[in-house]
Amino acid sequence: MSDTDFPADVHVLRPRKVSVSKKLDGFLDQAGLAYSSSPIESDATRPSLGRINAVTCADCGQAEYLTREYCRCGHYLSGQLQDEYLTWEEKIHTEHSELSNEVERMLKPLRICYLLTIPFLLVPALHVIFWADSFALTLLLWWMPVLLIAGAGIFAEQHVICPLKDSALFIQNYTFETFLFERSSGFKTSEGW
């Protein structure tokens, strides 16, 4: 065989497995430091999933404590947690702006209803201007629809604005601990308002 002739199965390369000892290989397989295709069993030294003090590694899928900077597989957990926080923060600001647009859209026809009070305000004003010497009970009756329409409008406006106020209060007062609590409970930002 010359230097340029190769066997037919040369394209099938198999990596060599270097082994120092069977005891060391067993330890590496058990500790999870070596790659294995079998699923990793739950470890008593890891936190339970869904807890406020646990973060799931995006690389290996195992739970790890928040205080660790790196997962046992070597993945950078602090960066992953900061990315999740920034995504969550962007999400709540987006939800707030969408809620603000929806509330503004709902208030527009309600504010147009205030125009219905103009005729009920003009008649008593004209009566006072032209017939100032006679004050009648009918002038007070003309103010009743104004009071009813304005009162109902203010009540409806407060009812519509209430979720927006709650959302703004949440945005002003949230902290990293709020993120951790909502993260452990499954990202319930919109339902918590």
Q: Is the pLDDT of residue 170 over 60?
A: yes
Comparing CA positions, the residue from 159, 101, 171 lying closest to residue 189 is 171
The CA–CA distances, whole Å, from 5 to 8, 9, 15, 135, 186 equal 9, 12, 22, 119, 61
Looking at the DSSP bridge assignments, the partners of residue 54 are: 65
Q: What is the DSSP letter of 72?
A: T
177, 179, 180, 186: CA torsion to nearest 10: 150
Domain span including residue 115 = 79-184
Asked if residue 141 belongs to a domain, the reply is yes
Asked if residue 178 belongs to a domain, the reply is yes
Asked if residue 167 belongs to a domain, the reply is yes
How far is residue 182's CA from residue 175's CA, in Å, rounded to a whole number?
11
Local confidence band at 192 (pLDDT 50, 70, 90 cut-offs): very low
Asked if residue 41 belongs to a domain, the reply is no
Tens-place pLDDT, residues 129-166: 777 676 677 777 888 888 898 899 999 999 999 999 99
Region 168-179 average pLDDT: 91
Give 94's contacts (C-beta < 8 A, 6+ positions apart).
Answer: none
Asked if residue 111 belongs to a domain, the reply is yes
Asked if residue 18 belongs to a domain, the reply is no
Beta strands 54-56; 63-65: pairing state: antiparallel
Tens-place pLDDT, residues 57-100: 888 888 888 888 888 888 888 888 889 899 999 999 999 999 99
Residue with the bigger pLDDT between 188 and 53: it is 53
Mean pLDDT over each residue of the chain, to the nearest integer: 79
How far is residue 52's CA from residue 45's CA, in Å, rounded to a whole number?
16
How far is residue 91's CA from residue 97's CA, in Å, rounded to a whole number?
10
How far is residue 160's CA from residue 150's CA, in Å, rounded to a whole number?
15
Give residue 159's pLDDT.
Answer: 94
Q: Angle, to 10 degrees, between the axis of helix 77-112 and the axis of helix 176-184?
A: 90
As for how many domains the chain has, the answer is 1
Give residue 166's pLDDT.
Answer: 95
pTM over 0.75? The answer is no
Region 106-128 average pLDDT: 85
Asked if residue 66 belongs to a domain, the reply is no
Q: What is the DSSP letter of 64?
A: E
Give residue 105's pLDDT.
Answer: 94
Local confidence band at 125 (pLDDT 50, 70, 90 cut-offs): confident
Amino acid sitting at position 126: L
Give residue 96's pLDDT.
Answer: 95
Asked if residue 13 belongs to a domain, the reply is no
